[in-house]
Amino acid sequence: MERVFLIAGLGADRRLFDKLVLPGYELIHADWIEPEKHDTIPSYAQKLIDHYGIQTNDHVIGVSLGGILTVEISGLLSLKNAIIISSIKQSAEIPPYFKFFRRLPVYKILPHRFYTSMGNIIKPLFGDTKGKTGFLFVDMIRHTSPVFMRWAMHAVLRWQPKPLKAPIHQIIGNKDLIFPHKYISTATHIVERGSHDMVYTRGKEISKIVLKILNNEIA
């Protein structure tokens, strides 16, 4: 059975993929591991490869931050498929607000308790914030390491994408507020009214797209 590694987004965990159904494939969650202070996105990608044993010809699916790491992993290994959801793959797609937070890195001075309690503040940016979905989003952030959150914000803001070494399947929603579709001109799949959390809220639809990619039904 072919292996599919799943990497969640910042402030999320494996529950983000609860609605992703991929029959016929072995799903392996690449959960977050604690970074070293000096780690960069490329060095952390290598740590995920080593820690979880990701190999040539495996499939990797990443959402948001997990998508950025998937792009880096695809430059280190010859993957069978690299699929990013609600994420970016190159410099031209980086949204303008990154520049603001690079110049004014307020995340550095925020207390650790802020990172685990900010779910209710920022959840409207991610899409569906009602009922079970909203609770899940807040709960995932509450259980994310604040040390990891602070490191990840710093590392992502300073990520310098290299030229792509392999094709990337990019699934983006045209209502994504974190990585707006208007900055992404070469996405392979655009989901109408899709928000940043669509891998969960539109799981059935996203599963169909991903299965077609895995089954080589989409170039």
Domains belonging to the chain, first-starting first, are 3-214 (3.40.50.1820)
Kindly tell me if the per-residue pLDDT of 117 is higher than 90.
no
Specify which residues 61 forms β-bridges with.
Answer: 6, 83
State the pTM of this model: 0.91
Q: What is the pLDDT confidence band of residue 150, given thresholds at 50, 70 and 90?
A: confident
CB-based contact 210:22 (threshold 8 Å): yes
* Closest CA relative to residue 14, chosen from 144, 121, 172: 144
CB-based contact 39:47 (threshold 8 Å): yes
Q: Is 145 helix (H, G, I), strand (E, B) or coil?
A: coil
Q: Within 10 Å of residue 183's Cβ, how many Cβ atoms?
A: 14
CA 67 vs. chain centroid, Å, equals 4
Q: What is the pLDDT confidence band of residue 84, given thresholds at 50, 70 and 90?
A: very high
Q: What's the rounded Cα separation, in Å, for the pair 209 and 30?
A: 21
φ/ψ region of 33 (left if φ > 0, alpha if ψ in -120 to 50, else beta) reads beta
CB-based contact 210:20 (threshold 8 Å): yes
- pLDDT of 42: 97
Place of tokens 């793959």: 89
CB-based contact 85:61 (threshold 8 Å): yes
- pLDDT of 119: 46
Q: Is 96 helix (H, G, I), strand (E, B) or coil?
A: coil
Strand order across the beta sheet in which 169-173 lies:
26-29, 3-7, 59-63, 81-85, 169-173, 189-191
φ/ψ region of 55 (left if φ > 0, alpha if ψ in -120 to 50, else beta) reads beta
CB-based contact 16:200 (threshold 8 Å): yes
The pLDDT tens digits for 156-207 are: 989 999 999 899 999 999 999 899 999 999 999 999 999 999 999 999 999 9
